[in-house]
Amino acid sequence: MFNWNIAGHENIKKFLENSVIREKIANAYLFYGPEKVGKKDMARQFAKSLFCVNKDRPCEECLNCKQIEANIYPDFFRVARMEEKGNIVIEQVRELREKFYRTSFLSGYKAGIIEEAEFLTDSAWNSFLKILEEPPSMTVIIIIANKIAPIPATIISRCQRIKFSLVPEDEITEHLCERGIERLSARRIARIAGGKIGLAREFANSRELFDKYNEKILTFLRFFEKDMLLKEKNDVIAAISKEREQASESFDIIASLLRDFLLVKTNPDLVVNLAHKEKMIDIGKRFESRKISQMLENCVKFKSYLDSNVNRKLLLENMALEME
Ligand SMILES: [Zn+2]
């Protein structure tokens, strides 16, 4: 009856499918968890399942499914940042509110998705709260956020919370194979993607992106080596600190390397960056577990500072110092 093309998150899928079957849909859901693990896909499949006219939902072929995919279905609304660095502003939420309180075009559900909800301004949240306080009947809103911390408590308490985790590597591999990727490549991609199905798909679609990411891993591995020159480090840092996303991704890569250094000591089979296992073992040996844990702790801490407008270059320089 259901046909959700999503890798991993079996429990979440079942839970949402059941709520569609029983027509027990909450007024608001909060999907949160690491970026690129499939929250947006899940939200869309869920929305399509509410509107799809066929038995195997979503069929992806009926007009409703297609219109939702293209964000033009009259009872489906997507709210997202207008530009990469912007916020989601009160005007956008007001527009959503108006649409929600209007009668449905097709006298059924109305659904809204708010992407990257951590970027709602305070006034936008206040306006949004009014929808949740008096939700019109047969409406459902899915709030999507990587982190729950920036979401106001008054909002969280009114949502059905659904936490997403990283997707197991095997499930990503299978998913890629089903999409026609050859098994060996699928496995390599799944390994490098480190549980992020969205990233795995991006890699599967672009060899160039995959190679670039792999190169970044190698670059950060270099930071742990004794012979890397300060100038070389500074050049890398200057380049990645230009953009927040780049800096954030760099901290993720460093964290995944550090976790692997710990694993090569205890459980080498679980190493994520397997493509560079030999090097990992060499470098891992040089540091004590305690030191690695401390680096990891700082890495996570520095990454969290990115959200509070601390100088990115300074954070990365501090991290580089830790990695010696
Ligand atoms: Zn359909």
pLDDT tens-digit series, residues 5-51: 888 999 999 999 999 999 899 999 999 998 899 999 999 999 999 99
Residue 128's pLDDT is 95
Give 54 Cα–ligand 1 centroid separation in angstroms.
5
The rounded Å distance from CA 76 to ligand 1 centre is: 14
28, β-bridge pairs = 141
Going across the sheet that includes 139-145, the strands are 76-79, 110-114, 139-145, 28-32, 160-163
Tens-digit pLDDT profile for residues 93-112: 999 999 888 876 776 899 99
What sign does the dihedral 173-200-17-71 (CA atoms) show? negative
- For residue 197, report the distance from its CA to the centre of ligand 1, in Å: 24
Supply 57's token pair: 């939902």
Calculate how far, in angstroms, residue 74's C-alpha sits from the geometric centre of ligand 1.
15
| CA 299 to ligand 1 center in whole angstroms | 44
Give the pLDDT of residue 315: 95
Expressed in angstroms and rounded, the spacing between residue 116 Cα and the centre of ligand 1 is 26
Q: Which superfamily does 10-163 belong to?
A: P-loop containing nucleotide triphosphate hydrolases (3.40.50.300)
Those residues of the chain that have pLDDT short of 50 are none
User: What pLDDT shows up at residue 91?
Assistant: 95
Q: Which two tokens stand for residue 63?
A: 């007009």
In this predicted complex, what is the ipTM? 0.99
Q: Three-state SS across 153-183?
A: HHHHCCCEEEECCCCCHHHHHHHHHHCCCCH
CATH class in words for 208-322: mainly alpha
